[in-house]
Amino acid sequence: MEFRKIINVAVIAHVDAGKSTLVDAFLAQSHVFSDHEEIVAQVMDSNDLERERGITIYSKNCSINYKDYKINIVDTPGHADFSSEVERIIKTVDTVILLVDSSEGPMPQTRFVLKKSLDAGLRPILLINKIDKKDARINEVIDEVYDLFLDLSANDDQLDFPILYGIARNGIVRYNPGDSNNDINPLFETIVSHVDPYPNRMDEPLQMQVSALAYDDYIGRIGIGRVYSGIIRQNAMISVCNNLNKKENRKIANLYNYQGLKRTAISEAQCGDIVLISGIENIEIGDTIGPENVYEPLPQIDIEEPTLSMNFMVNTSPFQGKSGKYVTSRNIKERLERELEVNVGLKVEPTDTTDTFKVSGRGELHLSILLENMRREGYEIAVSRPEVIFKKIDGKLCEPIEEVICSVPNEYSGSVINKLNLRKGQMVDIQDEGSYTKVIYHVPTRGLLGYRSEFINDTKGEGVMVRKFIEYEPFAEKFRREPTEP
């Protein structure tokens, strides 16, 4: 097998910064689509909910060819509730393209995804997007990004990042805002000059780690990961192991990689590439694939724990069976077990009764996406009020704390500040932005449950609120309208 230069790139950003639109430009300008093919906007957001909400929920892969390079591109979720996707993807890439809105600047999720990248030792490429906005403040945003890098303890190499400017919607990336080119070639050139391709380790023993899972009704569970050394072949006997004493030999039934947007069957793949394998029934995130009878597990992939839980129950109301066709506990149990095949940030636990399941996730959006998908598939379920997951740390009861950033018209800022204070929030910063006020708070997650609708009413729909989990802190005192102690 002839060695080929491969670079894996992840596109990371806050929600709605233009990640999927940039990937569209990658694909269009690398001639992935044939002349007769209809090109759909945000082609990587294939899920109905992703298209309706305008956000990326599941990370997805594609590949393009540029000169003598193969570039694998990973489109990642921007919301912290889907952090389990981002954490695993970062381990399979050589660099990240950090998209930042030219007006908004770095946002909470920007900080989260960037921290994961810097912790992994990656050297990011900064792309200031939407430079055609009337309220663009490019130089100030670049200064804010530098401050963010310093705050996240970036090293000297990481601080020396290239800066590009673009309008992803129009497929434009430039070295300088005033340039006249109308393509994304500067981004292609920056990737191949800034990042070394994966080294040639084809002569070494096979080593691959599973970083994501997929499921196919015909071929079963699929493990997705990067080949770190050696060559992986279809029908080859391999070992599967992890740090939890899992050791077994298996046969690879099918082997795939990405060519453009398509999952393509191949007979072999080299080190550096991202591949999909099937035939291993109980494959898990973090499993290491190696030569037969050789068990040398790579470091385990840690997934952040859930912070919020709900009970999923059989609907026993008088309207049972009116809105869905799957209504029994067996139906619900099977669907939740199927979700666990691919949604590793989720936990499902049995309860004292057979018709109730405790489902834990990373946040309200994480659980609401699951509920909406189940509803659309015809499942009818009742759910309990969300409950925060408390932890004992060093003998102290601790609860999850979130960072909340609110941008509201000046006349409504007093009401928002008052409500967040009542919910045991602590103000971190307040900034005047002309006719708007930007406030940053640290608030217990339990204080934010149900607050979004109040926030929309208080700001007459003109306010913007973004939030993300930051850490567990000692339990704050009980506040008004909280029905029970933890």
pLDDT, greater one: 203 or 302: 203
Q: What's the mean per-residue pLDDT of the chain?
A: 84
CATH, domain 5-194, list 3.40.50.300, 3.30.300.30, 3.20.20.70, 3.60.70.12: 3.40.50.300
More confident residue, 434 or 177: 177
Its CATH class, for the domain covering 391-474, is alpha beta
Question: What is the structure's pLDDT at 268?
Answer: 92
pLDDT band per the 50, 70, 90 thresholds, residue 486: very low
pLDDT of residue 84: 59
- Please check whether residue 12 is in contact with residue 19, taking contact to mean a CB–CB distance below 8 angstroms: yes
Task: Write the CB contacts of 388 (distance below 8 Å, at least 6 apart in sequence).
Answer: 307, 308, 399, 400, 444, 445, 446, 449, 486
225 versus 433: the higher-pLDDT residue is 225
Which pLDDT tens digit goes with each residue over 21-31? 887 777 877 76
Q: What is the pLDDT of residues 399-437, one digit of tens each?
A: 888 888 888 899 999 999 999 998 888 999 998 878 889
pLDDT at 353 over 60: yes
Percent of the chain at pLDDT > 70 equals: 89
Q: What is the pLDDT of residue 1?
A: 76
Q: Which CATH architecture has domain 308-388?
A: 2-Layer Sandwich (3.30)
Q: Which of 204-208, 241-245, 367-371 has the highest mean pLDDT?
A: 204-208
pLDDT of residue 124: 93
First to last CA, the chain: 60
- 140: confidence class by pLDDT, cuts 50, 70, 90: very high
Query: In sequence order, what DSSP letters do the residues of 105-170 get, joined into one string?
Result: -S-HHHHHHHHHHHHTT---EEEEE-TT-TT--HHHHHHHHHHHHHHTT--HHHHS--EEEEEGGG
DSSP lists the bridge partners of residue 180 as none
Quickly name the fold that domain 207-291 has: Elongation Factor Tu (Ef-tu); domain 3 (2.40.30)
Residues above pLDDT 90, as percent of the chain: 29
Lowest mean pLDDT, pick from 95-99, 152-156, 240-244, 303-307:
303-307
Question: Which residues are CB-neighbours of 394 under 8 A, at least 6 positions away?
Answer: none
Range(s) of the chain covered by CATH 3.30.70.870: 308-388
3-class state of residue 28 by DSSP? helix
Give span(s): CATH 3.40.50.300, the chain.
5-194
Q: What is the pLDDT of residue 351?
A: 87
**Residue 47 DSSP symbol:** S
- Which residue did the predictor score with more confidence, 86 or 426? 426
**Which ranges of 14-66 does DSSP label H, i.e. alpha helix?**
19-29, 48-53
What pLDDT is stored for residue 485 in this prediction? 42
pLDDT value, residue 51: 57
User: CATH 3.30.70.240 spans which residues of the chain?
Assistant: 391-474
Tens digit of each residue's pLDDT (9 = 90 or more) over 96-126 = 999 898 888 887 677 777 888 898 889 999 9
Pick from 155, 156, 21, 8: nearest CA to 95: 8
User: Per-residue pLDDT tens for 27-80?
Assistant: 877 766 544 444 444 444 455 665 566 565 566 788 888 888 999 988 777 565
Pinpoint the residues of the chain covered by CATH 2.40.30.10: 207-291
